[in-house]
Amino acid sequence: MKHEDFKDNEYIDKLVEELNASGTNVVVGKLDQLINWGISNSLWPFCFGTSCCAIEFMCLGAARYDMARFGFEVARNSPRQADYIMCQGTITYRMAPALKRLYEQMAEPKYVIACGACTVSGGPFKNSYCVVKGIDEIIPVDVYLPGCPPRPEAMFYALMQLQRKIKVQRFFGGVNRKEKRKEFFDAQQVAPAVEEAQEATSENLNNQE
């Protein structure tokens, strides 16, 4: 790929700059910026490696790539202390409830990076009988990172995209994002409820017969 072809998502920053220029509340605006700046530069990852990508994530933490430069180094083993979950590796049916639970245990604000082809879409295991075809079927995802496994450089890019997203989140509204998440989980809960209702009606029909 040529360098010019690479599309970075800078437009978000530009948009925010433009909007800011046309006037925001000076005090609140600055405070928002400060908070976002703080959050985005001290993102603590949650160690959640299920397979190959985890090894590359370890390389990210080691000396050559050294993610401490960007404030990502404080890898936490408890979801309650972490800011984002970088899901490294295939999620199977047996692991799915555990992942969902870990996500729920994390404190707000929380973010998700789907790292590697498996978590984006099921990857090479798409046709398997027990692999979740993308973790967005279980939890909402902020950044998708393809690759099998992604190189550490790519992981950096994903993390910096997340930082960029966080830096403008106050402007675009944390409120919107929360609403979306609520919709996401509501939709999941509706599905079985509908089925139950259908079953109930079919039973009624049978009884009538």
Contacts with other proteins by CB under 8 A lie at: 47-52, 54-56, 58-59, 62-64, 77, 89-90, 92-98, 100-102, 124-125, 127-132, 137-138, 148-149, 151, 188
Supply the minimum distance, in Å, between the C-beta of residue 195 and other proteins.
Answer: 10
CB of 6 or CB of 129, closer to other proteins? 129
Token pair recorded at residue 87: 């899901």
Nearer to other proteins, 20 or 136 (CB): 136
Residue type, 137: E
Beta bridge partners of 46: 76, 85
Task: Give the span between the Cα atoms of 190 and 185, in whole angstroms.
Answer: 9
Q: Closer CB to other proteins, residue 41 or residue 202?
A: 202
Please report, in angstroms and rounded to a whole number, the separation of the first and last CA atoms in the chain.
66
CB of 52 to other proteins, least distance (A): 4
Query: Smallest distance from the beta carbon of 125 to other proteins, in angstroms?
Result: 5
Least distance (Å) between residue 91 CB and other proteins: 9
- Alpha-carbon distance 145 to 22, whole Å? 34
Residues in a beta bridge with 114? 87, 144
